[in-house]
Structure 1
């Protein structure tokens, strides 16, 4: 993240209550001294800046004692990132938030599986993902969104980074995603098709990794550090793997879905009902910080018809974990499903529309395909009336009230949402 200078009109404010008694408790004395120190420091900054109106206040002159106090009061991870961007001396005081760091794991290479290549390794990267919405005065389209992760500015990525002034953005966490460094699940040059990570013993740091490779699902336990084939699974190519409530869920290009136990690697088929005369592209989308729901989005492709992405319909189901089956739904409530992923990562995201301002172009009960082949798409909603009497209303289809332009796909997805011209 590039350093950002604060504007001259920025001030720190501390609210404190006057003590009711003449004798101040120790905590009140401490608060009073902090307030006095803060007031004196800010006054000096304003005095120095008023003498030279062309230069902003020099925030690097704030006492280190005050910075440590401020650092101890911060809770939000992006407050730390904001503070680190003020000036270079602050970076030694405000640590980069560990919750935003990427975790990497060096694993044995799977490139020539089932052969084991001595001394060959691959790198798994697990990182938090966020939805960034550029703030605007009226919260009306056109709106600009970004989906991706963040990294410290001293970690140089392999590709050109997307630089954002995050002080100008609303930030919504979307959970974690994984990627194999140097591998692209959408590339035809390799047989790699996605990865998922699951911690099985937090105390001992034990984990299990699953990848889709060629026609197989491969598993690696940290206690063994070797790849093995998962038996009794689909023979079709895997298209993606996600985690939900302590299990892996893999989806395949032929429509198969399997749940995989991380301890036994036992598989359970969860194939949704067929749609006569149609093929489909399936996507798994977890929702909620506590694994509230797992959605299956099926993009329906009618056979023997001209393919038009803007006219494709969808069927959406939610997993009934106890019954072990998919239940078709027509209502997502206030939820927004983000189908697609930034760069070469695995997994899909979701959020609540309650976290977004009304009228920003994204509403509850909708889906956004954020990584399309073409650079334009539309939100999907249920029961959209196309004006054609022959079109079924009991499906999810494009709502042309707003148009989504995909400006960038890697390393972050960049979207512009604007009102469509009808």
Structure 2
């Protein structure tokens, strides 16, 4: 057998895949779960491309969200991917989102709407679309976002997930937890009065939420909240849930005091409660205890607005690990009557526990801003 293996070219295996009968390719195509899968499938060869239609898109029905939202929206999948150039050998993180018109767009993994071309340091020669014959997209994580087609007149939603295909679990800007079953006349508030929630996550096909004092709850199919882990006793102001290498983590962010935020230096022109420190805890599920984490090793946490996730920098050459990327909300004063709220990408480094803007560190910025030629904005067949 060993002699046989040495005489067979690896290309033979590839050719066998490319030469599969079209009727079998059609059957496989019907089981593709996302548009990312479809585009990757079509990029294999001409025969694979002809087996699945470019017009494929998942059904995205317009949702009429009742009070307290009062708006129409589309629940769209969000896919975090590693974007690799087939020949240049460079890679970066991108978020692929689907517009209400069905177009797949490449976005900043941290924010909801910032295109990747707006990263500092990107090449200015930008193509309109990405051809997967030239690039590879490797899926790393999935989430959802609500694309509003009308402006909400009531509360807004800060994060949403699809709950077992029958409804939406959402965190409101009031930090309440709500559920809306498709077609329901009202939202069901799952929060107890006076309890506020910071983040929600799907972990191993189960849904979990964490409140502001550090209690993690499992949400069962009947939408009951069952305490999943002991009290964290984290004294930070904002908690995020992250899955990393199959483990359950909490990132506890400490914000500056409100007085410090309000009286920032006038020359800066910004105010807001910036993050001043972070602590990370891993749940030991066997013993039911929280373990303090003092290093992420080669891992990186990204606390995105749509989905929080983790990656290994081993898959991103020349990028720095052992850090957390996140967004800080700030207010920019244009004049005494007008204030603009925006978000600034920052990085927390475990080695010296410093927090700086991402663009200040080339080895950190490179994870989102590679030197690729003709970096695209959307995906084509």
TM-score computed with the length of structure 2 as normaliser: 0.60
1:301-332 C-alpha deviation (Å, 9 max, x unpaired) = 24354679998321111223455553221232
Offset at residue 182 of structure 1 (A): 0.1
Q: Map of 1:225-244 to 2, 5 A cutoff?
A: 227-232=187-192, 235-236=195-196, 238-244=197-203
1:148 and 2:96 correspond? yes
State how far apart, in whole Å, the 2-side matches of 1:300 and 1:323 are: 27
Within the candidate set 284, 294, 297, 2:241 is matched to 284
Structure whose alpha-carbon radius of gyration is higher? 1
Within the candidate set 236, 248, 255, 1:301 is matched to 255
- Contact 2:217 2:226 (C-alpha < 8 Å) held by counterparts: yes
1:416 and 2:376 correspond? no
Within the candidate set 340, 345, 349, 2:304 is matched to 340
Which residue of structure 2 lines up, in the alignment, with residue 180 of structure 1? 146
State how far apart, in whole Å, the 2-side matches of 1:243 and 1:383 are: 30
Which residue of structure 1 lines up, in the alignment, with residue 337 of structure 2? none
Offset at residue 177 of structure 1 (A): 1.1
- Report the secondary structure of 1:176's partner residue: strand
- Contact 1:247 1:259 (C-alpha < 8 Å) held by counterparts: no
Which residue of structure 2 lines up, in the alignment, with residue 80 of structure 1? 41
Offset at residue 229 of structure 1 (A): 1.9
Q: Map of 1:186-335 to 2, 5 A cutoff?
A: 190-199=155-164, 207-213=166-172, 214-221=174-181, 227-232=187-192, 235-236=195-196, 238-251=197-210, 254-268=212-226, 271-275=231-235, 279-288=236-245, 292-303=246-257, 305=260, 312-321=276-285, 324-335=288-299
1:110 and 2:66 correspond? yes
Which residue of structure 1 lines up, in the alignment, with residue 77 of structure 2? 126
Q: Larger % of strand: which? A: 2
State how far apart, in whole Å, the 1-side matches of 2:232 and 2:189 are: 24
State how far apart, in whole Å, the 1-side matches of 2:207 and 2:162 are: 9
Going from structure 1 to structure 2, the CA distance change for 1:131 and 1:312 (only over 3 Å counts) comes to farther
Which stretches in structure 1 are left out of the alignment for 5+ residues?
1-12, 18-30, 39-64, 200-205, 385-394, 407-413
Q: RCO (CA 8 Å, sep 6+): is it higher in 1 or 2?
A: 2
- Contact 1:102 1:125 (C-alpha < 8 Å) held by counterparts: no
1:53-77 C-alpha deviation (Å, 9 max, x unpaired) = xxxxxxxxxxxx9977988999975
Offset at residue 178 of structure 1 (A): 0.9
Aligned alpha-carbon RMSD (Å): 5.1
State how far apart, in whole Å, the 1-side matches of 2:157 and 2:298 are: 35
Which stretches in structure 2 are left out of the alignment for 5+ residues?
1-8, 106-112, 116-127, 265-271, 331-341, 372-381
What is the total number of aligned residue pairs between the two structures? 311
- Contact 1:108 1:121 (C-alpha < 8 Å) held by counterparts: yes
TM-score computed with the length of structure 1 as normaliser: 0.55
Offset at residue 378 of structure 1 (A): 5.4
